Amino acid sequence: MSAKLIDGKQIAAEVEAEVRRECEALASKGVIPGLVAIRVGDDAASEVYVRNKAKKATELGLNGTQKHLSATTSQREIEAEIDRLNADDAVDGILLQLPLPSHLDSKALLDRIDPRKDVDGFHPVNVGRLQQGRPCLVPCTPMGVIRLLESSGIAIGGCRAIVVGRSDIVGKPVAALLLHRHATVTIAHSRTPDLAGAVREADIVVAAVGKAMMITGEMIKPGAAVIDVGINRIEYGFDKLDRLGEAKRNAVLTKGSALVGDVDFESARSVAGWITPVPGGVGPMTIAYLLKNTLQAAKDRRA
């Protein structure tokens, strides 16, 4: 068998179309949802991420802007900027791009964002409401995972699901979302005894551990849905190059590197029922749900 490929780009485009339609409806009432992304320092990847988020926001009818602060900006100065944005009625969503320079306390800064404008869903108020199944702004990548499953017609209720990874950003919130949809959920991690055996029992596997190609086909239950959240750049000398598909192996040999997920895609796709690629799977969903959260924040603040 060969798994059905879950096209994250196509499903993200559906989410974006929903956002665009609702933004047009709000614009007719004089409301333009506003998103401000704060970037501190000169991390190249962060610059690309923030630029892409702001650009996509504008494309969909939101007011997407960037606030770039120098790497030497103090904790107090960033707190003042967040306070200013919290008080600005034109701003519906505030995003603090991570990672931050080492001298800054990222948790304290994230906690300072108004929970109603916390479009990343990281504030303790939103985390607590999510755990209780109450309305809140939900972290973007976990919601993207759920939408990929639901849009692919994969039943969550009554199934066994495993989340490999226990981060506050992906692992814990996606487990909560699966639990709220009546799955029986296991959270696994590096210290889980017999990880392969635990994964093999699952009808849904969410890999979010941050280790390249850790989940292999031998660990997958036949017919399971595999959602690969991982994004890892591998280079020549990587010990699993022989397991790559031809295109990625050639990319490593000719360009020096390639992106892979936490799942050994080639071996898993021969066992799974559904699988997401890397790139083009979960990644596009994260930005789509960031903008959907900004739209939701704009509506909730004016309700």
Residues belonging to the active site: 53, 97, 120
Q: Is 234 strand, coil or helix?
A: strand
| 82 close to 108: Cβ distance less than 8 angstroms | no
Q: How far apart are CA 229 and CA 235, in angstroms?
A: 19
Q: How far apart are CA 215 and CA 212, in angstroms?
A: 8
Whole-angstrom distance, CA of residue 93 vs CA of residue 82: 11
* CA angle, 64 then 67 then 72, to 5°: 160
Q: Measured between alpha carbons, how far is 33 from 294 in angstroms, rounded to an integer?
A: 7
Handedness of CA 260, 265, 266, 267 (dihedral sign): positive
H or E stretch including 233? strand 232-235
Closest CA to 15 of 295, 301, 300: 295
Q: How many C-beta atoms surround the C-beta of residue 44 within 10 A?
A: 7
Residue 24, Cβ neighbours under 10 Å: how many?
11
